[in-house]
Amino acid sequence: MRVLYDIFINLVSWLLPVIGIFSRKVKLFLVGRQAQKGSIRRFREQFPTQELYCFHCASLGEFEMIVPLLKRLRKDRDAKLVATFFSPSGYDQRKSSPHVDAAFYLPLDTKHDMRKFVRELRPDQFYFVKYDLWYNLIDLLHKNGTRIFLVNGMFKADHFLHRSWAKPFLASLSHFEHFFLQNQGSQEFLTYNGMPEDKITITGDMRYDRVSALEAERLKRIDKFCEHEFLIVGGSTWQPEEELLAQVMAKLPTIVKLVLVPHDVSDEHISQIMDRFESFGVTRWSDESADSGSVLVVDTIGILMRVYQSADIAIIGGGFTGDLHNILEPLSAGLPVICGPKTDKFPEAQFMLKKGLVSQVTDSSEMLRDIMHFVNDRGALDESRILAKATIAEMTGGTQMVMNHLDQ
């Protein structure tokens, strides 16, 4: 099976330049890796004897999970910190992060490319984040004498390692020094496949550490827009949530206002939103004129966490497609969350459902019902705020557990 894996990876590497002609994302994938040729070697030559820890993140979300750990290591270790990314979106947004000394694209997992990567970077410790595992890389790191860890790891039921044909890949996991896992199910998977229990620690989801440490100031413009009335934030919304919110806004009392922060901020999508909510009075964030009406559309990125600070409840996108966006950020701001019904693959959503801090809706009538519950009962809203912040605080501590192990 490993032979087939190598054949497949090499075939992909040959086909990608052709695919890149038709796919902008693949073209960015290739151009980014081409542009960094020699940069890894030059970076390591500046610090030839200093310890170096590398963290591999598939994309931006995985990087954000480990920011508290990076901060602790920056404070407590005399080591260079490097991040690698598989996707252009993660690399482009965090290539200049103050939490690492350098960021690079990870090559494709061919033996040739990974051998060069390990030889040039010479990491002393290598941390895979969550579940983006590359098996030639693991084997080559092991041969290099690198200490290998998995942080915030999770082996979901649909992970390919659960398949019977994946046993050759499971053998590579024996090269890991320790697994820091999100949940009991992931631990049971590893122990069932022969991993010693003393190599496993359940830290919980380290994203709780991240969101609890976020400091976001309120935006005066948002406060002025809602004028201390009831404010809904649509966070990282897609078309299904936006359509339902348009239907709901027609039935809500005038004290309710809406700030929409869509995931897609392209001109085309923003124009569609403006048309959809025109009858309620709608303003774009980029429009410097006075905000009027009941709807404000944020057509930029990077301020969603600050918008949450002024809101009462959050409608989070992705729940109708099975790609739920971050619910922990609004919860850390004390907001109860409403989302679509497809959340089975998100343990944090299932946990918060049981806590009563997340509600799932399938249509506009259910969304209207759940919004009006908090509009009419401010006491219930205050109780949810307190419970949300307390629950986030209770779930923190994963970063400290990792540090405790590394200090042994």
Confidence of residue 13 (pLDDT cuts 50, 70, 90): confident
Q: Is the pLDDT of residue 373 over 80?
A: yes
Question: How high is the pLDDT of residue 30?
Answer: 82
Average pLDDT over residues 362-385: 97
Residues 27-68: pLDDT tens digits? 888 888 888 889 999 999 999 999 999 999 998 889 999 999
Q: Is the pLDDT of residue 307 over 90?
A: yes
What's the distance, Cα to Cα, between the start and end of the chain in Å? 37
Q: Is the pLDDT of residue 146 over 80?
A: yes
Q: Write down all domains in the chain, each with its CATH number in brackets.
A: 33-202 (3.40.50.11720), 216-394 (3.40.50.2000)
Contacts with 376 (C-beta within 8 Å, 6 or more apart), sequence order: none
Question: How high is the pLDDT of residue 46?
Answer: 96
Average pLDDT over residues 173-196: 94
In DSSP terms, which residues pair with 234 in a beta bridge? 260, 315
Confidence of residue 317 (pLDDT cuts 50, 70, 90): very high
Q: Is the pLDDT of residue 188 over 80?
A: yes
Question: How high is the pLDDT of residue 106?
Answer: 94
Q: Is the pLDDT of residue 319 over 80?
A: yes
Question: How high is the pLDDT of residue 169?
Answer: 84
Contacts with 105 (C-beta within 8 Å, 6 or more apart), sequence order: 29, 32, 33, 36, 84, 85, 86, 91
Q: Is the pLDDT of residue 170 over 90?
A: no
Q: How far apart, in whole angstroms, are the C-alpha atoms of residue 44 and residue 48?
A: 6
Contacts with 266 (C-beta within 8 Å, 6 or more apart), sequence order: none
Chain-centre distance for alpha carbon 73: 21
Question: How high is the pLDDT of residue 396?
Answer: 96
Q: How far apart, in whole angstroms, are the C-alpha atoms of residue 243 and residue 237?
A: 10
Joined tokens for residue 361: 């809706």
β-pairing verdict for 51-57 and 79-85: parallel
Ramachandran assignment for 318, one of left (phi > 0), alpha (psi -120 to 50 degrees), beta (any other): left
Average pLDDT over residues 242-262: 96
Q: Is the pLDDT of residue 291 over 80?
A: no
Classify residue 184 by burial, with Cβ atoms within 10 Å: 0-12, 13-18, 19+.
exposed
pTM for this structure? 0.88
Question: How high is the pLDDT of residue 179?
Answer: 97
Q: Is the pLDDT of residue 159 over 90?
A: no
| Side chain identity, residue 77 | R
Query: 290 by DSSP, 3-state: which?
Result: coil
Query: 60 by DSSP, 3-state: which?
Result: helix
Please provide the DSSP assignment of 68-122 as one string. Answer: HHHHHHHHH--EEEEEEESSHHHHHHHTT-TTSSEEEEPPPS-HHHHHHHHHHH-
Chain-centre distance for alpha carbon 100: 18
Question: How high is the pLDDT of residue 17?
Answer: 82
- With a pLDDT cut of 90, the percent of the chain lying above it is 77
Please provide the DSSP assignment of 347-386 as one string. Answer: HHHHHHHHHTSEEE-SSHHHHHHHHHHHHH-HHHHHHHHH
Query: What strands lie across the sheet with 102-105, from one edge to the other?
Result: 102-105, 79-85, 51-57, 125-129, 147-153, 178-181, 200-202
Average pLDDT, the chain: 92
DSSP 301: S
Do residues 59 and 130 make contact, with C-beta atoms less than 8 angstroms apart?
Answer: no
Question: How high is the pLDDT of residue 31?
Answer: 81
Using alpha carbons, select from 349, 290, 270, 287 the residue that is nearest to residue 316.
349
Joined tokens for residue 274: 């403006």
Contacts with 73 (C-beta within 8 Å, 6 or more apart), sequence order: 53, 79, 81
Do residues 121 and 102 make contact, with C-beta atoms less than 8 angstroms apart?
Answer: no
> What is the residue whose two structure tokens read 């964030």?
285
Residues 92-138: pLDDT tens digits? 888 889 999 999 999 999 999 999 999 999 999 999 999 889 999 99
| Side chain identity, residue 202 | I
